[in-house]
């Protein structure tokens, strides 16, 4: 396998600030493509080879989302690294998204009330109260918190970006106590920070104890945070910023909370021309 193309592609993606996950995924697909092409000389690779590879993946029942990612990885390689033309008008159908599961406000209250360990309570309450991903909660450090200003920071979050989050007033005292006893990571584990698996167990056990008839998992707290903000009438762009969504369409995906508000919104044309018969 031509190692130089892998090295050059990795270096270029690092230079552009792509996330570690994206880099790993792109390189995985490029390696599979080069194996499929039987190590053809790089200068002979063409969009025909790419099309045949994608058709091969499709025959192996790859999902539409995975095929689109593979297509993007190979486009990056061909255009940015090999400087070849690579226009393929292909877009594979994605699997329809499942309806977002979330907890009602009553269920959140019951879930949090069932957690008696203070540290575990703060972890779950902060994930809901600030809309944090489980991976973000595990990486929090005491210096990421400006408690007096009610602001915390997710460092190097999804997409390699930093973003602020709100610190719930009700958690300030407890967070200050935990931070005072932490040496680095806010939520410490045996060796460094608490693991995602540990948080999953905390939330899952709390859901069972609270007798919530849903598959309760940490990301459901983030979904619930989003849903409840939108239900409360919070502006969509504000919620988008708090969640770290790059595209507003992602936030609009919470249609169960957004649609009722949009339906109730009246067009200004109706009030302007109400008494005019056109």
Active site residue 158: yes
Active site residue 219: yes
Distance separating alpha carbons of residues 138 and 93, to the nearest angstrom: 34
**DSSP three-state, residue 5:** helix
Residue 45 tokens, joined: 């690779």
Instruction: Check 29, 193, 222, 228 and give the catalytic one.
Output: 222
Q: Do residues 10 and 80 touch, judged by C-beta distance below 8 A?
A: no
> Count of CB atoms within 10 A of residue 52's CB?
13
Instruction: Check 84, 119, 142, 219 and give the catalytic one.
Output: 219
Partners of 165 in the beta sheet?
Answer: 152
Q: Do residues 129 and 171 touch, judged by C-beta distance below 8 A?
A: yes
Instruction: Check 26, 102, 128, 254 and give the catalytic one.
Output: 254
* 5 Cβ contact list (under 8 Å, min separation 6): 30, 34, 42, 77, 81, 82
Task: Name the DSSP class of 185.
Answer: B
Active site residue 10: no
Instruction: Check 29, 193, 223, 245 and give the catalytic one.
Output: 245
Active site residue 119: no
Instruction: Check 75, 110, 119, 158 and give the catalytic one.
Output: 158
- Alpha-carbon radius of gyration of the chain: 24
List the catalytic residues: 133, 158, 219, 222, 245, 254
């Amino acid at each position: 396998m031509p190692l130089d193309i892998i090295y050059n592609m990795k270096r270029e993606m690092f230079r552009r600030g792509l996330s570690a996950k994206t880099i790993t995924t792109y390189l995985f697909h490029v390696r599979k493509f080069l194996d499929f092409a039987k190590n053809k000389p790089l200068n002979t690779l063409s969009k025909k080879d790419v099309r045949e590879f994608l058709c091969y993946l499709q025959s192996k029942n790859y999902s539409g989302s995975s095929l689109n990612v593979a297509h993007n990885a190979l486009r990056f390689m061909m255009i940015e690294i090999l400087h070849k033309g690579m226009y393929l008008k292909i877009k594979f159908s994605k699997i329809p998204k499942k309806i977002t599961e979330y907890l009602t406000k009553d269920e959140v209250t019951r879930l949090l009330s069932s957690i008696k360990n203070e540290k575990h309570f703060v972890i779950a309450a902060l994930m809901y109260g600030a809309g944090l991903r489980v991976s973000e909660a595990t990486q929090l450090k005491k210096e990421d918190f400006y408690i007096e200003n009610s602001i915390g920071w997710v460092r190097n979050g999804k997409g390699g970006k930093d973003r602020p989050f709100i610190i719930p007033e009700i958690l300030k005292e407890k967070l200050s106590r935990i931070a005072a006893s932490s040496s680095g990571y806010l939520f410490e584990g045996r060796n460094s920070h608490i693991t995602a698996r540990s948080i999953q167990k905390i939330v899952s056990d709390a859901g069972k104890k609270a007798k919530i008839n849903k598959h309760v998992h940490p990301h459901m707290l983030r979904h619930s945070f989003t849903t409840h903000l939108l239900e409360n009438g919070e502006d969509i762009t504000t919620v988008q910023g708090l969640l770290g969504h790059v595209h507003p369409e992602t936030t609009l995906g919470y249609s169960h909370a957004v649609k009722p508000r949009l339906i109730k919104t009246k067009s200004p044309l109706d009030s302007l021309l109400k008494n005019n018969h056109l």
